[in-house]
Amino acid sequence: MSEMKKAGFASIIGRPNVGKSTLFNALAGERISIVKDTPGITRDRIYAETSWSGREFIMIDTGGIEPESKDIILSQMRTQAQIAIDSADVIIFVTDVRTGIITNIETSERPFRVTIDGEKEVEAEAVIICTGASAKYLGLESEMKFRGMGVSACATCDGFFYRKKVVAVVGGGDTACEEANYLSGLASKVYLIVRKPFLRASQIMQDRVLNNEKIEVLFETNTLGLYGEDGVEGARLIYKKGEPEEKTYDLPIDGFFLAIGHRPNSEVFRPWIETDETGYIKTIPGTPRTSLPGIFAAGDVADPHYRQAIIAAGSGAQAAMEAEKYLSTLE
């Protein structure tokens, strides 16, 4: 090992999609820390087979496989990165992977100080936030039990598995209407379960739903639970809860889609960085730059609209390139 170009270092906060493409696409010569949380929770999908500086990094599609296997693959990827370092004549990058939850970030001084699990600290000249956005669930026990076995929070992602089947979508806003419409192109029947006696969606979305003969809207209805043996077989619903017409009944369905919004994982950063009213980190349009120079945001945490893996990965690469440019200005 001879020289190491050390222009600065960056922390990548968050994990899979953005983190990987960021790591493998740019920041050559920088020191990178990747901070992530519990292994195996989110999806890791195929991005690239990257041949870079004479070394090949093969990324493997781990989408749809068991969490345990994902962890094995992730650990192999780490080892591979380490081998690249150990056997290289010239250090390309040093990957320093730390596991934990970011509990604080101190931005009043440079370098930034990032706190992990309330105790350990990493210093970083640049930070890329890619902590994603979590779908909101109703909070039912059976929802958790059937997650990935009939319960989904993404129609575009999982709709394909419900071709010619009966599904229900929960929600009354634009997203719910959009998901119901999308699913109506695949499923044989779509129920839209709406808490209120009306839809909150824009008029155009409402019209699309109400004029779609495959969609039946169940107004003033709440879900009490889901039932089934090895997957969802139906939902227990309550109509007009607490009113004289109250009625509880079972609705046979194969799939249950949540469309009641997402919560961007940006709480820790909100005191320092501008977000929109729902907590999505605001970036300068077309760039991953946030309101604070040196802090970049990529993936779902900064994307209220698309929330898809390939878009998150692309924005991660953008963030890495921007971070590299930023670090070079500090030299």
Active site residue 157: yes
Task: Build a one-symbol-per-residue string for 105-134: x at contacts with ligand FAD by CB under 6 A, - elsewhere.
Answer: -------------------------xxx--
In DSSP notation, 120-189 reads: EEEEESEEEEE--EEEP----HHHHHTBTTTEES-HHHHGGGGTTSEEEEE--SHHHHHHHHHHHTTSSE
User: Which residue in 10, 13, 180, 232 binds ligand FAD (CB under 6 A)?
Assistant: 13
State how far the alpha carbon of 320 is from the alpha carbons of 25, 65, 102, 231, 327, in Å. 7, 28, 19, 41, 10
Sheet order of strands, 102-106 included = 102-106, 112-116, 120-124
154 lies in the binding site for ligand FAD (CB under 6 A): yes
Stretch that binds ligand FAD, among 33-41, 46-54, 79-87, 283-291 (CB under 6 A): 33-41
- Among the candidate windows 77-85, 174-182, 224-232, 304-312, which touches ligand FAD by CB under 6 A? 304-312
Rule CB under 6 A: say whether 35 interacts with ligand FAD: yes
Contact pick of 264, 288, 299, 314 for ligand FAD (by CB under 6 A): 299
> Can 130 be counted among the known catalytic residues?
no
- Judged by beta carbon, residue 17 or residue 283, the one nearer ligand FAD is 17
Q: What is the dihedral of CA 87, 319, 309, 71, to 10 degrees?
A: 40
Determine the size of the site formed for ligand FAD (CB under 6 A).
33
Smallest distance from the beta carbon of 137 to ligand FAD, in angstroms?
10
Assess 186 for contact with ligand FAD (CB under 6 A). Answer: no
Active site residue 154: yes
State the catalytic residue, choosing from 61, 158, 300, 303: 158
Q: Which is nearer to ligand FAD, 64 or 242 (CB)?
A: 64
Give the closest residue to 215 by CA, choosing from 249, 257, 243: 257
Which ranges of the chain would DSSP assign to H, the alpha helix? 16-25, 67-87, 141-145, 155-158, 174-184, 203-210, 309-330
Across the beta sheet with 234-239, what order do the strands follow? 221-227, 234-239, 247-252
- Of 1, 90, 210, 310, the one binding ligand FAD (CB under 6 A) is 310
For residue 125, the minimal CB distance to ligand FAD (Å) is 19
Q: Is residue 307 within the footprint of ligand FAD (CB under 6 A)?
A: yes
Smaller CB separation from ligand FAD, 41 or 284: 41
Considering only residues 10, 218, 232, 268, which one is a binding residue for ligand FAD as defined by CB under 6 A? 268
* 3 state SS of 278: coil
> How far is Cα 111 from Cα 124, in angstroms, rounded to an integer?
5
Distance (Å, whole) CA 75 – CA 290: 31
Please, what is the minimum distance in Å from the beta carbon of residue 148 to ligand FAD? 7
Tell me the DSSP string of 95-135.
Answer: EEEEES-EEEEE-SSSSEEEEETTTEEEEESEEEEE--EEE
Decide if residue 308 touches ligand FAD (CB under 6 A): yes
Report the residue number whose CB is nearest to ligand FAD. 299
Residues that bind ligand FAD (CB under 6 A): 13-18, 35-37, 41-43, 101-102, 130-132, 135, 152-154, 157-158, 265, 268, 299-301, 307-310, 312
Residues classed as catalytic: 154, 157-158
